[in-house]
Amino acid sequence: MSDSSTRRPAVGVRDVAALARVSPTTVSNALSGNRPVSSSTRERVVWAVEQLGYRPNISAQNLRGRRTGLIGVAVPEIDVPYFAELIRHVVDASRQRGYTVLIDQTEGRLEAERFVLNGMNPGMVDGILFSPLSVDRTECETRRDRTPLVLLGERVSGHGVDHVAIDNVAAAADATNHLIRRGCHRIAAIGYQESHGGGTAPQRTQGYRTALRAADLTFDPVLVRHTDRYHRRDGEQAMMELLDSSGDPDAVFCYSDLLALGAIHALHDRGLRVPEDVAVIGIDDIDEGRYSTPTLTTVAPDKVAIANAAVELLFDQIAGTAQAPRQVVAPHTVEVRRSA
């Protein structure tokens, strides 16, 4: 049995402050977001917290500040790898500020998304990161609930709410241009969806068509396939439809990596080689794509940058230091692997 006299004394905020060479108040502000601190100062505080194993007394802080110490993350499907990987980075960024993350799955249902917009029950969380599918711009910008909110993705356009996303038009153009530079001329697109809100699918279609036009390639509607969702089975079915049509593509741009993996599966089933017969590129850079056969060429959003920017915007709102709603565009790159 351990004796109380041998126990290590509890690490306090003053210990963290001493190691980080800042004041105890600065430590509290860096972890809670109550007041802005520089990125270099926050990094020193986080390093000191990790070195000392300091655990903030969130309960005491919440009683003083009337906060829960929780933020919510609401996404359509938590088992979609892109969202799972993004949430992991959100958890990391939130933990550095002494916060815990609650995760909600909306399945894109309107009533579930309205529940999120209404604050996920008053006082349950201090702020919400939200990737919507069904609610429109007006509902987001006219919500009555005052819980801090940051939108992720491009399903809802407008400038009345803090928003973090990649440039989907540019990302789709970059994917298509990669296939064009490879010598492809009959480039199909899988993942089109109708949207009246300037959502992800129309933007990616716009980028696809822009790249074709710049290369003097004819846009052929036969080569564009609609999918209800962005799952593997949707990609497989759309690829089968393309092969059964008169499209005869030599390359396919898929609006997500899961669609691309489903398309590759269909091509293999039909005895076609990837990329020799049909090249395939996706978007998302999910971990599974690094281990598929062949490995998947993809447009890689900077998920760490998206998570950090979204959490930063949210904590600015929580601390009351946010100004006008901000729109952050995260970087992306084309990761070239064997499928294209």
Delineate the domains of the chain, giving CATH numbers in brackets: 4-56 (1.10.260.40), 68-166+302-332 (3.40.50.2300), 168-300 (3.40.50.2300)
Q: What's the pLDDT band for 57 if we cut at 50, 70, 90?
A: low
Q: What is the pTM of this model?
A: 0.80
Give the model's pLDDT for residue 158.
62
pLDDT digit string, tens, across residues 101-145: 999 999 999 999 999 988 887 788 999 999 998 888 788 888 888
Check residue 156 and give its pLDDT. 64
Distance CA 82, CA 78 (A): 9
